[in-house]
Amino acid sequence: MSSPANPILSLRNVGKTFDVQDRHIEALRGANLEVARGEFVCLIGASGCGKSTLLRIVAGFEPASTGEALMWGMPINGPDPTRGMVFQDYGLFPWLTVRDNIGFGPTSRGRPAREVKETVSHFIDLVGLGRFADVYPHQLSGGMKQRVAIARVLANEAEIVLMDEPFGALDAMTRERLQDELLELWERTKLTVLFVTHSIEEAIFLSGRVIVMSPGPGRIDNDITIELPRPRDVSASDFNELRRSLSTKLHSHHAKVAA
Amino acid sequence: MSAVADQATTRGAASPPRRRTVFEGRRLREPALALILPAALLIGWHLATAGKAYSLIPPPSQVALAFYDLAFGGIRDDFFSATLLSHVVASVSRVYGGFILAVIVALPLGLMIGRIPTVRQMFDPMLQILRPIPVTAWLPLAMIIFGIGPKSAIFLVFLGAFYPILINTVFGVRSVEPRLFEAASMLGCTGSAQFAKVVLPAALPAIFTGLRLGLGFAWMIIVIGEMTGVSTGLGAIIMEARQLSRTEIVICGMIAIGIAGFISDRIILMVGRRLLSWNPNHV
């Protein structure tokens, strides 16, 4: 388990309960997590394990009910451009072209128009959407939309990219391509990525660390460092070994819940 | 004969004149369909009224002449001759005056009612009680408050256009996807800045529906609005002509309002199409 000296992100005993009508629903309990700058961390677990809740607390969309969430040692209260979110359903502004969607953040933060223009064209090229710069989101495929969503947070100088099952709605081929592209971006830009997924393979393929979570109430169970050399081969034997051991860890919790 | 026709179709690309006629035929089909009902109405009207000595409704030919006289004069040269333009201008200014006033009030109010719970709790109950009161019921009060003249007409048009704009704006704001607010705030657009950058554009399709309905209502209300004793306006000549039993002028006024309302609607539709070109559901 790594414990970086100066973590970009630290969660201390973070818990979350939702009040739905007259019931308390404990979505997350006692989550402790530290992420160093430049790490690629995946959160994995069955539905209801609190992985999305954890991500939303880090994003600042939900306040923690207990404990504290810190970025660079400062409490997180509310969304902030330093923590960019990539949603599974893209969350693009349908009335803006690709160019203007990517420029939305910098423009909102009052960057001068010329600077915005340069930033935008840089990131449009980075995600390979040059030909689609003036197209509206509804004219794009799912994979292209997600590229816009990624470019949008990068163009806004996000230090951490939070991704909530970003490739979950895409077909297998597109998903693999975007995984490769994301890794390339991560290696090139030295981003910090916190990535929620329910696919074991995706977690092992992408991340340097896999955080295994389990439901009822949602909590962190395991923190596994993945030391396979990159680029990783999903059909290699050591990859499969990891996959098997992670799968056992995940399923042991299912057994517990069932019992 | 059929062999020739077959040959012509197989050589379709090489015979542009034939293709063009097919294309034009298709393009003319829509207006032709749209004209069937008015033509039938005109014929029915003519058959029912022409040549009857004591018809209370004048035949179309008489209305057409009256319309010409109303527009350009030179036939009867009476009280109504060559006055159409001034009436149209008067009505248009009142319709758009009341309508623009309604937009100025209803649009920001609707954005706030839809987005800010305190504003909603404050305004919604009163607006819901006022809403069922028909515009006609406001007429006596309007005349007391605003006097006899265009102000009353503008007020009534305002009332008529206000609710459709308000209700559609509120609906549009309430149905903005919550995800978009999250996206905006994590990109650094928070608080009241979201009104202009998220709420307004996202609600625009619904707002445009409201504007269209509102402008339509404005043209319906104008006749009532111009019953308040103004001397110009399409509503005013209808009332005036009715008192003088000049039914052909009444019908001319109706036709003029119909055409003016139609043109208004086309204009707003064109603006809407331009502003909403991003929306796949908006044609």
**pLDDT band, residue B12 (cuts 50/70/90):** very low
Percent of chain B with pLDDT over 70: 90
Q: Which residue has the higher pLDDT, B201 or A254?
A: B201
Comparison of pLDDT for A56 and B12, the residue scoring more: A56
Q: Which residues of A touch B180 (CB under 8 A)?
A: 91, 93
- pLDDT, average across residues A187-196: 93
- The least confident of A100-104, A247-251, B245-249 is A247-251
Chain B residues with CB under 8 Å of A98 CB are: none
pLDDT over 70 at A3, yes or no = no
B229 Cβ contact list (under 8 Å, min separation 6): B143, B148, B149
- Residue pLDDT, tens place only, A131-155: 999 999 999 999 999 999 999 999 9
The answer to whether residue B35 is domain-embedded is no
Residue B216 domain-assigned (yes or no): yes
Q: Cβ–Cβ of B187/A105 closer than 8 Å?
A: yes
Q: For B70-107, how does the pLDDT look when each residue is reduced to its tens digit (9 = 90+)? A: 999 988 888 899 999 999 999 999 999 999 999 999 99
Structure tokens at A82: 């330093």
pLDDT of residue A53: 94
B283 falls in which pLDDT band (50, 70, 90)? low
Tokens encoding B178: 């919550």
pLDDT given at position A250: 86
Is residue B277 very low, low, confident or very high in pLDDT (cuts 50, 70, 90)? confident
Chain A residue numbers touching B186 (CB-CB < 8 A): 59-61, 79-81, 83-85, 153
The interface predicted TM-score of the complex, written ipTM, equals 0.92
Question: Predicted confidence band at A253 (pLDDT cuts at 50, 70, 90)?
Answer: low
pLDDT computed for residue B6 by the predictor: 42
Q: At what angle do helices B200-225 and B150-174 cross, to 10 degrees?
A: 150
Q: Is residue B30 part of a domain?
A: no
According to DSSP, the residues that pair with A71 across neighbouring strands are A9, A74
The token pair that represents B167 in the structure block: 């209700």
Residue A97 confidence class, pLDDT cut points 50, 70, 90: very high
pLDDT value of position B219: 94
Distance to chain A for B186, nearest Cα, Å: 5
Please give the structure tokens belonging to residue B15: 């015979």
Q: Are B186 and A104 inside 8 Å of each other by CB?
A: no
Distance from CA of B114 to the nearest CA of A (A): 19
Q: Do the domain assignments include residue B158?
A: yes
Question: For position B202, what pLDDT does the model report?
Answer: 95
Q: How far is CA A129 from the centre of its chain?
A: 22
Strand partners, A223: A211
Per the CB < 8 A criterion, the answer to whether A222 and A211 are in contact is yes
Interface-testing mutation among B186, B200, B207, with chain A (most A C-beta atoms within 10 A): B186
Task: Report the gap between the CA of A171 and the closest CA in chain B (Å).
Answer: 23
Q: Which bin fits A48, alpha (ψ -120 to 50), beta or left (φ > 0)?
A: left
Residues A24, A25, A27, A31: is their CA dihedral positive or negative? positive
Q: What is the DSSP letter of B245?
A: T
Residue A150 token pair: 């990624």
Check pLDDT > 50 for residue A14: yes
* Amino acid (1-letter code) at residue A128: G
* Domain-embedded: residue B242: yes
Top pLDDT among A231 and A103 is at A103
Domain annotation covers residue B165: yes
Which among A25, A104, A102, A38 has a CA at the least distance from the CA of A65?
A25
Asked if residue B69 belongs to a domain, the reply is no
Say whether residue B100 is in contact with chain A using an 8 A CB cutoff: no
Question: How far apart, in Å, are the Cα atoms of B17 and each of B24, B32, B222?
Answer: 11, 22, 49
The full DSSP string for B4-20 is HHHHHHHTGGG-HHHHH
Q: Is residue B20 part of a domain?
A: no
Rounded CA separation B110/B120 (Å):
9
* pLDDT for B28: 84
Report the range of poorest mean pLDDT among A222-226, A232-236, B10-14, B261-265. Answer: B10-14
Q: Which of A237, A165, A235, A151 is nearest to A196 (CA)?
A: A165
Angle between helices B234-243 and B247-275 (to 10 degrees): 160
CB contact under 8 A, B188 and A89: no
| pTM (two decimals) | 0.84
The whole domain housing B221 covers: 84-275
Q: What is the CATH number of the domain that holds B177?
A: 1.10.3720.10
Per-residue pLDDT at B7:
41
How many whole angstroms separate alpha carbon A256 and alpha carbon A219? 14
Q: How many domains does chain B have?
A: 1
The residue ranking higher by pLDDT, A9 or B225, is A9
The H or E element spanning position B41 is helix B16-49
pLDDT top residue among B149 and A79: A79
Q: How close is the nearest chain A Cα to the Cα of B175, in Å? A: 14
Q: Which residues of B178-197 are buried (b: 16+ CB within 10 A; e: fewer)?
A: eebbbbbbbbbbeeeebbeb
Tokens of B203: 């609600």
pLDDT at B1 over 90: no
